[in-house]
Amino acid sequence: MNQVLIIEDNPDNLVLIDFILKKSGYSTLHAETGYKGLEMALRGHFKFIVLDIQLPDIEGTEVLKLIRAKEQGKQVPIIAMTSYAMSGDRERLLAEGCSGYIEKPIEPLLVMAQIDEILKASA
Amino acid sequence: MSDKTNGSALPAEMKNVPVKKITIIVLLCWTLFLSVSLVWNLHHETQMTIAQATSEAEGHFNKDVVYRRWAALHGGVYVPTTEHTPPNPLLAQLPERDIETTSGRKLTLVNPAYMTRQVMELAAEQYGVRGHITSLNVIRPANKADDWEQQTLKAFEVGEQKNASVEMIDGTPYLRFMRPFITEASCLACHAQQGYKVGDIRGGISVSVPMDTYYQIRRSSITTISSWHLLTYLFGCGLITFGGRFLNRRVEENHLIHNELRINQDRFASLLTLAQMKNRTEAELVDFALAEAIRLSGSDVGYIHYYDEDSKTIQLFRWDDKTLQDCTLPDLSSAYPLSESGVWTDSIRSRKPVIHNDYKNLPNKKGLPEGHFPIDRHMSVPIVAGEHLVGLIGVGNKPQPYNEYDVTQVSLYATSVWEIIQNQRTLLALEKQEQQLSTFRALIDQSSDAIFIVSTEDGQFLDMNERAHHYLGYSRQEMLNFKVLDIDINQPENFNWSDHIKEVKKHRQFLIESIHQHKDGSLLPVEINVRVITLNSGEFMVAAVRDISARKQIEAELLEHRLHLEDLVKERTLILEQRTRELEESQETLQELLAEVNEAKQELEQANSKLQELDKLKSMFIASMSHELRTPLNAIIGFSSLILNGLTGEINEQQRDQLDRVYRSGRHLLSLITDVIDISKIESGRIQAVPNDFSLAELIDEACDSLKPQLLEKNLQLIKHETDQDITLHSDRKRLLQCLLNYLSNAVKFTEQGQIEIYVAAVDNTLTFCVTDSGIGIRARDIPLLFQSFVRLDSHLKTTTPGTGLGLYLTKKLVTEVLGGTVWAESTPGQGSRFCLKIPQRITS
């Protein structure tokens, strides 16, 4: 199981993170809306999920909450990626069950290390 | 005071005679003396025993010598030959050893040695005294000397004359005695053949006397001596012990008497002191008396209460200081009924001194109130003044039981103190009266009225104040000789004094106007106030005379003034009415104005809330803008970084250079956006410190670590001057780090070579943090511009160094508005700059 789900509506950012993940040896699946992402997250088995917070249909935090509400969505690590940099955002996300938090813009050279660290911490 | 009299009755050393110690020493001496005596006596007894035995032995010796000498003188004696006395084989060579008497009886020659031996055997058999003739050179082998004899004989050869000692023979003690045996002429008959000459020591005779008898005697003597010693010793011990006890008792009695004397002296002195305390206040006296009562009765605490017989209430007057310290009872000063008080006031109820030596177990005790210190013993004495009970004085917690002496003492005190207080009160009252009287007199003297005391009988002046003789120009003595009619000239022609007095007495008081004549003849209009008073010695008139010449004149003037005043009042009233009207009008205007102001205020408030709404909108706009702006930046920075780092394949130098410009522009834009957001948050007051505890050293380390790449790149040195001990700050770590990083990255940006130094100083509760660089520096006129927004100073680095012009502005905002501190900068162009911030170590939110 080496598959990662990317929930991201911005095509540029999707290509960027997709490229980096594939470069690191993961295979990826994409969802451009929150509902689609939720559906895929609950159906498939992913190593982890990359979740953008601002999505066109529902908020990423809502998606996070809904995934965590289901039995099959309790374990999978979810890494939030957002350019929301308000104080308290990180705490709120972690409280909702987010495994880790990476702020945009990302630094491609560092992002994999950040992801590995989050995965290790949530293991 | 009392200390000085201490020990004057008895020398101090008398009190410290260590009778017990002396007794023990005498007992020890007595024991030693008798022990020595006993040992000496026993020793003497032993010596005597030996001397006696020696004496007996010497007697035997002498007797043996004499026998032997006698036999030798006769050349031996003949005795009948018997089985017991056979012929001596050693004399076999003598022709006449055996002879026969004419009657046929056989006789054999017995030589002196033979005879002596037989005599000795006889003695040994009958008396137990053994004799032995011996020599180092014996003729008869049986006479050979034993060990002791051999030693003695050898001693004789070197000049010893005799030897005597107690030795054991066959397990029995004997006194062995030996003396040399000197060769005499008669001896040579037998011993010449051995080569002896007269005077030679031929050998010795030893005599052994059994010691049993002597030892028996000695034992009995020892018993007697020991018994006597024991008896004497015991008797002596008894005498000494008895004497010691007697002495000790005497010393103790002396002690007691001395103490009693001292206490009495002390008490006497104290009473005397009390009696001399004339000029003290009542409180001081009572304090002194209480302290002394406590001290002299050996008590720990004490109090004095007043008692009021009429209301039957008691009221605390004084507690001693110690009691006040120990006692935490709230209010003690108010009076309360006697019936509510406990057993401690029994002395008032019974009007007698009361002693409670077991206070805790008193049957009818009410119990101490909360906060009262414990009472073990208690004694109280009523204070009686004549027939009246006026209070009680009590003491408590004496280590020993209270006794009659204490009662006497405290009673004496109570009485004395009360007497002194009474005297003082009387004295004070008298003084006060006198003072009042003299004040009164002075008052009367200073009165502007002339006051006379006049006899009702004939109008004679009896006394007067100063004014009374001054106003008519007479002396006091002259005035005292006058009667009323001598100065009062305004009398009707038929005036009669006794009628006048009758009239006066009927009214008791009246006011008249009259005319008095001055010494110089001039006339004075006067007003006289006459009053009849009754004093102890009868009825008098008191007349107060007032010179009314001035008044008469003033009365006229007054009348004129009054008329004028009335006009004036009318005029003023008119003006006042007009003013009131004006005031009412202006008040109305004022109220109108106030209403307008209120309206304006409301408008202002509305505008303000609108403004706040707008501000909120602005902040939301900025937040949303920042998100929207950062989203494309993610792609710009991300992809350019990917390509620059060769993750998508090789690129050429030109491409790398151009892409690097894209990447750096993206980064710059990002920091601009971040700073703008931060500033907008601060300006709208939406950043608040999130304080927590953290280590200053770790914070600085983190800042330095993140600066390392830039330092390495420019080959700059970073020197930290930290505090000796790490400090734990309570502040917003994230924001402080942001500020430190801003200073540090600025320093790196504008320094080409040299070093960057960090200074940290913690003074009082503040922390000062400075970054010094050896960079290009700042011109003095530019320093005030440093912390303003969007200011980038001109320098040759401006174009090559990235910057938003917001960093220092943001730092200043953060430090002053979030961290509650201050910022400043100093610089010398060309040498370097120094940027500092100072914040409180603990933020109080």
Pick left, alpha or beta for residue B645 (phi over 0 → left; psi -120 to 50 → alpha; otherwise beta): alpha
Which of chain A's residues have a Cβ under 8 Å away from the Cβ of B632? Answer: 12
The verdict on A72 touching B (C-beta cutoff 8 Å) is no
By the 8 A CB rule, do B137 and B193 touch? Answer: no
What per-residue confidence (pLDDT) applies to B329? Answer: 57
- Say yes or no for a CB contact (<8 Å) between A12 and B670: no
Tens digits of residue pLDDT in B238-283 = 999 999 899 888 888 888 888 888 877 887 887 788 777 767 777 7
B538 compared with A9, residue with greater pLDDT: A9
**Residue B482: closest CA among B543, B433, B428, B529:** B543
- Say yes or no for a CB contact (<8 Å) between A13 and B631: yes
- Say yes or no for a CB contact (<8 Å) between A85 and B630: yes
A20 compared with B489, residue with greater pLDDT: A20
Cis before B784 (ω within 30): no
pLDDT band for position A14 (50/70/90)? Answer: very high
What per-residue confidence (pLDDT) applies to B332? Answer: 59
Which of chain B's residues have a Cβ under 8 Å away from the Cβ of A87? Answer: 687, 690
Tens digits of residue pLDDT in B161-189 = 888 888 888 888 888 888 887 887 777 77
DSSP string, chain A: --EEEEE-S-HHHHHHHHHHHHHTT-EEEEESSHHHHHHHHHHS--SEEEEES--SSS-HHHHHHHHHHSGGGSSS-EEEEE----TTHHHHHHHTT-SEEEESSP-HHHHHHHHHHHHHHH-
Over residues A45-67, the mean pLDDT reads 90
B500 compared with A6, residue with greater pLDDT: A6
What per-residue confidence (pLDDT) applies to B66? Answer: 87
Checking if the pLDDT of B547 tops 90, the result is no
The verdict on A20 touching B (C-beta cutoff 8 Å) is yes
What span, in angstroms and rounded, lies between the C-alpha atoms of A34 and B202?
Answer: 155
Checking if the pLDDT of A49 tops 80, the result is yes
What span, in angstroms and rounded, lies between the C-alpha atoms of A79 and A90?
Answer: 11
pLDDT band for position B2 (50/70/90)? Answer: very low
Which of chain A's residues have a Cβ under 8 Å away from the Cβ of B675? Answer: none
What span, in angstroms and rounded, lies between the C-alpha atoms of B496 and B535?
Answer: 25
- Say yes or no for a CB contact (<8 Å) between A83 and B642: no
Choose the most confident range, by mean pLDDT, from A21-25, B485-489, B748-752.
Answer: A21-25
What backbone torsions phi and psi does residue B428 show, to the nearest 5 degrees?
Answer: -60, -45
What per-residue confidence (pLDDT) applies to A88? Answer: 66
Q: Tell the burial category of B424 from Cβ atoms under 10 Å away from its Cβ (0-12, 13-18, 19+).
A: middle
The verdict on A47 touching B (C-beta cutoff 8 Å) is no
Which of chain A's residues have a Cβ under 8 Å away from the Cβ of B677? Answer: 85
CA B358 to the chain's CA centroid = 31
Checking if the pLDDT of B374 tops 80, the result is no
Over residues A19-38, the mean pLDDT reads 93
- Say yes or no for a CB contact (<8 Å) between A105 and B639: no
Checking if the pLDDT of B563 tops 90, the result is no
Report percent pLDDT > 90 for chain A: 51
Q: Any idea of the CA torsion for B177, B180, B184, B189, to the nearest 10 degrees?
A: 90
Tens digits of residue pLDDT in B435-473 = 888 888 888 888 878 888 888 888 888 888 888 878 888
Averaged pLDDT score across all residues of chain B = 83
C-alpha gyration radius of chain A: 13
By the 8 A CB rule, do B301 and B396 touch? Answer: yes
- Say yes or no for a CB contact (<8 Å) between A108 and B641: yes
Which of chain A's residues have a Cβ under 8 Å away from the Cβ of B630? Answer: 83, 85, 104-105
Nearest CA in chain B to A52: B631
Angle (nearest 5°) at CA B45 between B44 and B50: 100
Q: What is the DSSP letter of B144?
A: B
By the 8 A CB rule, do B286 and B304 touch? Answer: yes
SS3 at position B14:
helix
- Measured in angstroms, the CA of A19 and the nearest CA of chain B are apart by 9
Choose the most confident range, by mean pLDDT, from B116-130, B275-289, B581-595, B719-733.
Answer: B581-595
**Residue B695: closest CA among B720, B731, B719, B721:** B731
- Say yes or no for a CB contact (<8 Å) between B633 and A105: yes
Over residues B220-248, the mean pLDDT reads 92
pLDDT band for position B331 (50/70/90)? Answer: low
CB pairs under 8 A between A and B: 61
Which of chain B's residues have a Cβ under 8 Å away from the Cβ of A86? Answer: 623
By the 8 A CB rule, do B91 and B111 touch? Answer: yes
Q: What is the DSSP letter of B805?
A: S
Tens digits of residue pLDDT in B663-676 = 988 888 888 888 88
Tens digits of residue pLDDT in B416-445 = 778 877 887 888 888 888 888 888 888 888
- Say yes or no for a CB contact (<8 Å) between B690 and A83: no
The verdict on A19 touching B (C-beta cutoff 8 Å) is yes
C-alpha gyration radius of chain B: 70
Which of chain B's residues have a Cβ under 8 Å away from the Cβ of A10? Answer: 631, 634-635
pLDDT band for position B12 (50/70/90)? Answer: very low
Checking if the pLDDT of A64 tops 70, the result is yes
By the 8 A CB rule, do A98 and A7 touch? Answer: no
Report percent pLDDT > 90 for chain B: 15
- Say yes or no for a CB contact (<8 Å) between B634 and A104: yes
Helix (H) / strand (E) element for B627: namely helix B549-644
B654 Cβ partners below 8 Å, 6+ apart?
Answer: none
What span, in angstroms and rounded, lies between the C-alpha atoms of B580 and B228?
Answer: 136
The verdict on A13 touching B (C-beta cutoff 8 Å) is yes
Nearest by CB: B638 against A54, A87, A108: A108
Residue from B641, B672, B675, B692 to probe the interface with A (highest A Cβ count within 10 Å): B641
Checking if the pLDDT of B8 tops 60, the result is no
- Say yes or no for a CB contact (<8 Å) between B635 and A108: no
By the 8 A CB rule, do B823 and B836 touch? Answer: yes
Q: Any idea of the CA torsion for B256, B258, B260, B263, to the nearest 10 degrees?
A: -140
pLDDT band for position B821 (50/70/90)? Answer: very high
What span, in angstroms and rounded, lies between the C-alpha atoms of B229 and B32?
Answer: 12
Nearest by CB: A109 against B634, B641, B690: B641
Tokens 């090789």 belong to B650
Tens digits of residue pLDDT in A88-103 = 677 788 888 899 988 8
- Measured in angstroms, the CA of A47 and the nearest CA of chain B are apart by 23
Over residues B33-48, the mean pLDDT reads 92
Nearest by CB: A13 against B626, B634, B690: B634
Chain B residues contacting A, CB < 8 Å?
Answer: 623, 626-627, 630-639, 641-642, 645, 647, 666, 670, 674, 677, 687, 690
What span, in angstroms and rounded, lies between the C-alpha atoms of B134 and B113?
Answer: 10
Which of chain A's residues have a Cβ under 8 Å away from the Cβ of B623? Answer: 86
pLDDT band for position B822 (50/70/90)? Answer: very high
- Measured in angstroms, the CA of A27 and the nearest CA of chain B are apart by 18
Which of chain A's residues have a Cβ under 8 Å away from the Cβ of B666? Answer: 105
- Say yes or no for a CB contact (<8 Å) between B627 and A12: no
- Measured in angstroms, the CA of B642 and the nearest CA of chain A are apart by 6
- Residue length of chain B: 845
- Say yes or no for a CB contact (<8 Å) between A16 and B687: no
B9 Cβ partners below 8 Å, 6+ apart?
Answer: B258, B261, B262, B265
Nearest by CB: B635 against A13, A20, A84: A13
Which of chain A's residues have a Cβ under 8 Å away from the Cβ of B687? Answer: 87
- Measured in angstroms, the CA of A72 and the nearest CA of chain B are apart by 31
CA B384 to the chain's CA centroid = 41
By the 8 A CB rule, do B293 and B393 touch? Answer: yes
Nearest by CB: A109 against B639, B645, B666: B645
Q: Any idea of the CA torsion for B360, B363, B369, B373, to the nearest 10 degrees?
A: -10
Which of chain B's residues have a Cβ under 8 Å away from the Cβ of A23? Answer: 647
Pairing of strands A100-103, A78-82: parallel
Which of chain A's residues have a Cβ under 8 Å away from the Cβ of B636? Answer: 105
What per-residue confidence (pLDDT) applies to A51? Answer: 93
Averaged pLDDT score across all residues of chain A = 88
pLDDT band for position B385 (50/70/90)? Answer: confident
Residue type present at position B713: E
Nearest CA in chain B to A84: B627
Residue from B627, B644, B669, B733 to probe the interface with A (highest A Cβ count within 10 Å): B627
What per-residue confidence (pLDDT) applies to B330? Answer: 54
SS3 at position B96:
coil
Q: Enter the tokens of residue A14.
A: 């999707």
Which of chain A's residues have a Cβ under 8 Å away from the Cβ of B638? Answer: 13, 16, 105-108
What span, in angstroms and rounded, lies between the C-alpha atoms of B568 and B582?
Answer: 22
SS3 at position B715:
coil
Point out which residues pair with B766 in neighbouring strands: B763, B840
What per-residue confidence (pLDDT) applies to B376? Answer: 82
By the 8 A CB rule, do B642 and A108 touch? Answer: yes
Pairing of strands B832-840, B461-464: unpaired
- Residue length of chain A: 123
Q: What is the DSSP letter of B402?
A: P
Angle (nearest 5°) at CA B32 between B26 and B34: 105
- Say yes or no for a CB contact (<8 Å) between B687 and A87: yes
- Say yes or no for a CB contact (<8 Å) between B690 and A87: yes
Nearest CA in chain A to B689: A87
Which of chain A's residues have a Cβ under 8 Å away from the Cβ of B639? Answer: 12, 16
What per-residue confidence (pLDDT) applies to B11? Answer: 47
- Say yes or no for a CB contact (<8 Å) between B630 and A107: no
By the 8 A CB rule, do B807 and B675 touch? Answer: yes
